[in-house]
Structure 1
Amino acid sequence: MNHGKQQTTNNRQQMTIGYLSPTNLFTDRKGWSGTYFSTRQAIDNSAVNLLSSQWTASSVINDYHASKDRVFVLPFGANIDDSKIVQAQVYQSGRLNVLFTGVDWERKGGQIAVDTVKKLRYNGADVHLYICGIRDLAHEVTELDFVENLGFLNKNKPEEYQKYLDVWSNSHLLLLPTRAECSAIVFNEASAYGVPILSTDTGGIVIMFLTI
């Protein structure tokens, strides 16, 4: 669980804010027992626990035995300045621009996204795939003619931040076939831009947007 700690001036109790990392084959099991107990200790010592989704909050209550009256859901918003958000292009015809964004290639289902676009192109669809967030993308992916690799973009650097904004405004679809997820901020960013989302029903995803 990633959590920040803030001490109040009165009772000096800790406040934990963050999310619970999924416990599955994508989670590093090394030292998991110690991580569990240190996380539970932080939760127990906290006056308030704020979580980014109901799914995560339920896990804190059921798996870490936190008191319900100290657990609250505070969903994430888009990590983009409101003044920078514009309506993305609405797909009409021609090339379909698909965006995959995330820093964990395996857990976020990066190869699944590539294989999906490859299949669509094999069936005759004109699809282009933007890949954003991966620091060291495999050569066999970067050499594909339908892939545009943007790498990891640091939003604290104006040039890279603008590149991130531009790819959202030029995308028609967010494709994130993630294998495990608590609550990805990119869903909020896609919603802010009006970009449709295609993802998987796992973890806390399903409660973040309407499914069809």
Structure 2
Amino acid sequence: MDKEIAIREEMGVVLTPAELTANATEQARLLMDIVQKTKCFQQIGGKIYLQVEAWETIGAFNLVHAETEWVRPLTDAAGETVGYEAKVNLMKHGEIVGGAVMPCFFTENACQGKSGDAKHKASMSAAQTFAESKAYRMNYAFVAILAGYQPTPAEEMGGSSAGAGIPSEHWCEEHRMNFFKKGRMKGFAHKIEGTENWCNESE
């Protein structure tokens, strides 16, 4: 990264479009080298999606790190816990510069094969990972694109922070997450992040 541009940015000086592009291009170049060495990506359908570690690297380039604000349970109409959602903020010099809310349901890959406390812990952990990846994507997708990667985090493509596969047959393209059906639910649905509303799968 050009030292002069970095210093000006830290001083709060508004960068020109050319300077912004030069800065992002340098970050993209460094990112490609790191991603290839660490293999922190997933290849789905011939396209490369960055995992959370790669997004954290972009954050580090910009002196930004993630902090979890809260994690809370998600319940169905019967009051049964079906997963967790988390809010993660991006912090820079003690100030919030971005953030996102994302859920992780017990039906997702991160929770498969787990039961009891382990299932709850896996869901809480994955929800934080999903939210962190999305927060970075919302701030720095342009860097990933310049590096030749897809702007959607790998975690959003498969519902797991490690080894996620292709979205399930009950996939919501609008909100980019899986529908689920549990307990007394009449059909497949998912909660819309950041709201109390639900999205129902069309029959």
TM-score (norm. length: structure 1): 0.27
- Larger relative contact order (Cα-Cα within 8 Å, sequence gap ≥ 6): 1
Greater helix share, structure number: 2
TM-score (norm. length: structure 2): 0.27
Larger Rg: 1
